[in-house]
Amino acid sequence: MTDSALRELADDPSSRKRFFKMMGGAGAVSAFSVFLAACGSDGKKSASTSTPATSTDDGVKGDLHILNYALTLEYLETEFYKEVIASGLVKDAAVAKIATKFYSTEQEHVAALTATIKSLGGTPVKAPKTNFGPTLDMGLKHVLETAAIVENLGAAAYLGAAGGIKNKDVLAAALTIHSVEARHAAALNTLVGFGYGLKGGLKGSLPDGAFGKGMDEASVLKAVKPFLA
């Protein structure tokens, strides 16, 4: 694992410290411990392949760009759920429960990404100005379909961006969010009535069969443009 920044982290006290600050407290120690337990024990490898912390500096700018892109999407999702809940459109208790839970989850994603960006020395982007009014005006069915689309886009965005992330801890953090977006997407796809039917009927719930598809940043931003003011 010559380029494992995680291993580097395990060997380098200064980058370790930065990581803890970055991830912010107890959750970071817990998560990091799990990673270290899995990688740091391999003394032979790390001794022969440890690299200076500065080797990741080249990737920081790129990682910050990806993190701010992710933050923009999380802000968008958070604002949408907030407005959906406030609109009173959701009457069904089970649906309301899901909307509330997803809203709080997206808030946590915003907080985690903001903290990560700051700890890397970057400036978190501001929440984008959104325009969900027309969507809300079209009623609950359309609102839930839009939520499904946005969550599917979110999952595709993280998957598309993962390969470009240089810092392994940032990658680890992105992965923990990626699969949650996918869970949201599948639940909403089902909720909006695609159901479990095979082939066409399963459209969205398990999109494109057995493999998720990533989307590049330009395509994702184009897709969410109608929701931006």
Q: In angstroms, give the least distance from the CB of 225 to another protein.
A: 24
C-alpha–C-alpha distance, residues 36 and 100, integer Å: 34
Q: Which of 16, 82, 118, 142 binds another protein (CB under 8 A)?
A: 16
50/68 with CB nearer another protein:
50
104/131 with CB nearer another protein:
104
CA 8 to chain centre: 24
Residue 109 lies near another protein (rule: CB under 8 A) = yes
Q: Which of 125, 127, 162, 221 binds another protein (CB under 8 A)?
A: 162
Here the contacts of 31-38 (C-beta below 8 Å, separation 24 or greater) are 31/172, 31/176, 32/169, 35/6, 35/169, 35/172, 36/6, 36/10
Residue 114 lies near another protein (rule: CB under 8 A) = no
Residue 206 lies near another protein (rule: CB under 8 A) = yes
Beta-carbon contacts of residue 9 (< 8 Å; ≥ 6 apart): 15, 16, 19, 32, 168, 169
Q: Which of 56, 72, 78, 105 binds another protein (CB under 8 A)?
A: 105
Residue 183 lies near another protein (rule: CB under 8 A) = yes
Q: 115 to 144, contacts with another protein by CB under 8 A? A: none
Contact string 185-204 vs another protein (x = CB under 8 A): xxx--x----xxxx---x--
Q: Measure the N-to-C terminal CA separation of the chain; round to a whole number of Å.
A: 45
Q: Which of 180, 192, 215, 220 binds another protein (CB under 8 A)?
A: 180
43/129 with CB nearer another protein:
43
Cβ–Cβ < 8 Å for 205, 196:
yes
Contact segment (CB under 8 A) with another protein among 41-49, 55-63, 78-86, 128-136 equals 41-49
C-alpha–C-alpha distance, residues 149 and 223, integer Å: 9
C-alpha–C-alpha distance, residues 96 and 48, integer Å: 54
